[in-house]
Amino acid sequence: MLQNAQILENKKIIDDVYQLTVKGDFKPLAGQFINIKLNNEALLLRRPISVYDANHNSLSVIYRVVGAGTKELASYKPGQELNILGPLGNGFPLVKNKRVLIVGGGIGVPPMYFLAKMLKDENDITFVLGFRSKSQIILENELKKYGDVFVATDDGSYGYHGNVLKLIEENKIDFDVIYACGPTRMLEALDNRYCGKKEGYISFEERMACGIGICYGCACKPKQIERGMLRVCKEGPVFPLGVISYDKA
């Protein structure tokens, strides 16, 4: 779906992270994303951002300013309009009556909030969040509404000192199903650890151009090469454990 949407809010959450809310009934699935066209002809490519929250009146995303495009996006004010393509991609399969572990790393945490809202009524949820440092932590309190929250920081400035996988193992967190979104290194570690042992789904964050599967700019290699290259925007961004190859060769 392609539509023009009015900005309701575009606020800074922490140093370089913003929450953008636009008006409209987009009906996204948990794990889907939108592709935003910037109001600057010099910035041609749309910016893909995962859905943080949505209802019948509005949709919100949370993004980090990392380049010219997101810097431009952060400058927009309420009342301005954005051209939005989406929601796009495959969402997370939703389970019932399970012990669910939701793992988010950095800017991969926001889409897990929307997932938690979809799962909260029929599952027991535990969250494990990973950040570089205390100053980078987002959504900890918001997620506490839906389950226990464990936080790991790379520098030890808050919570557990180390990565999310070590936190899970040292705290003996048991679960039936794992969902994860975040840096590729984190997803690889979780995939390698739990593939074949647990049901699980991981969401990849990749740079992409078209967002609809035409350009193959976001293609990744599957473990079963006969399947052909997989497009994060089309076959993903959500994949079951054991599908993606992390071999760069």
> What is the full per-residue pLDDT of the chain (249 aa) written as tens digits?
899 999 999 999 999 999 999 999 999 999 999 999 999 999 989 999 999 999 999 999 999 999 999 999 999 999 999 999 999 999 999 999 999 999 999 999 999 999 999 999 999 999 999 999 999 999 999 999 999 999 999 999 999 999 999 999 999 999 999 999 999 999 999 999 999 999 999 998 766 566 666 766 677 777 776 567 778 877 869 999 999 888 765
* Contact indicator for 127, 116 with CB cutoff of 8 Å: yes
| CATH 3.40.50.80 domain range(s) in the chain | 99-240
What are 97-112's pLDDT values in tens digits?
A: 999 999 999 999 999 9
- What pTM does this model have? 0.94
Pairing relation of β-strands 199-203 and 219-220? unpaired
Instruction: Identify the CATH class of 99-240.
Output: alpha beta
CA 69 to chain centroid: 19
CB 41 within 8 A of CB 165: no
Query: Any idea which fold 2-88 has?
Result: Elongation Factor Tu (Ef-tu); domain 3 (2.40.30)
**Residues forming CATH 2.40.30.10 domain(s) in the chain:** 2-88
